Amino acid sequence: MESETTQTETVEKVKATKSKKATIEPKAKAQFNWNGVDWGVLIAKGELEHWRTLRIVIQLREKLYAGKPKQLDAERAMIRARGLEDVLEAKEITDPVERAALADEIKDEGLCEFYRREGKPGIWIPSNQLKAMVKENWSCLGFNKKYLGTKNRLAECLFVFGPDKDDREWIYLGEQPDGIDQSVCHSTGPRGPISSIKRKEYVLRPRIEFILRIAKEVEEDLSPEILAKVLYHAGHHGVGADRSQGAGTFEVVSVEDCETWPK
């Protein structure tokens, strides 16, 4: 008798669960089509009308250098190599013998490499590096002061992506780097002369394609004329590491105005 009661209760619970699910599903659909509005259609319309989409291709003149340190404690290693750690520790080296010994000491800053991705062969850079390039040169030319308020609009209404819509956060550079450059830098820190070794992966004269999207509502402040000046100046300023040494300069090969994401 007890067994039959248990079975009956189980059946009732299953029926109640199915009934509950049946009442939940229509509500979810009603929310998406609230008050007779088909939000799917509106979102698809926004995809077509909201953005100005540009397909941009740049050609580097020489080397594109990697800037991501390979070792996990690279930030601290770079601080040590530049002698800034001693500023924090507030140590002053006055002994001339010790200072001379430090002058001969060479510290390895480690290797800067391009990104490797699990399950994705080749070398990559994140597409946000290109957005940083646009923002940096926008400020260099003084547009952030000339057009007040555009700094925030540039950050929140302009986006840069890789050409692959399904993998838009990344830009593919090739199967492997073309080489590694090594240089020795000399500087003077609180503890005296310091030498450090820098090693960087590079790709030689890559052609980079990316997608730039601007919300049309702010296009008046981010006009094509202004954007063209920013891209032209960025070509002389460079992209990637060692820009202050003249690396990473490029020419703008093409700018294509697309209605939607180019295939």
Asked if residue 148 lies in contact with residue 198, where contact means CB atoms within 8 angstroms, the answer is: no
The amino acid sitting at 254 is: S
Average the pLDDT over 134-158 and give the result: 78
Q: For 44-53, 81-90, 248-257, which range has the lowest pLDDT when averaged over its residues?
A: 81-90
d(CA 44, CA 239): 34
Average the pLDDT over 132-136 and give the result: 91
User: 242 CB contacts (<8 Å, ≥6 apart)?
Assistant: 65, 200, 248
Widest CA span of the chain, in angstroms?
Answer: 99
| Residue 104: band (very low, low, confident or very high) from pLDDT cuts 50, 70, 90 | low
What ranges in the chain are assigned the alpha helix state H? 2-32, 39-49, 74-81, 84-89, 96-104, 128-140, 143-146, 150-157, 224-237
Average the pLDDT over 129-142 and give the result: 90
Using the predicted structure, report yes or no on whether residue 141 has a pLDDT greater than 90.
no
Using the predicted structure, report yes or no on whether residue 93 has a pLDDT greater than 80.
no
In the prediction, which pLDDT does 247 show? 93
| Residue 101: band (very low, low, confident or very high) from pLDDT cuts 50, 70, 90 | low
In the prediction, which pLDDT does 2 show? 47
Answer with the residue of higher pLDDT: 65 or 39: 65
Asked if residue 214 lies in contact with residue 221, where contact means CB atoms within 8 angstroms, the answer is: no
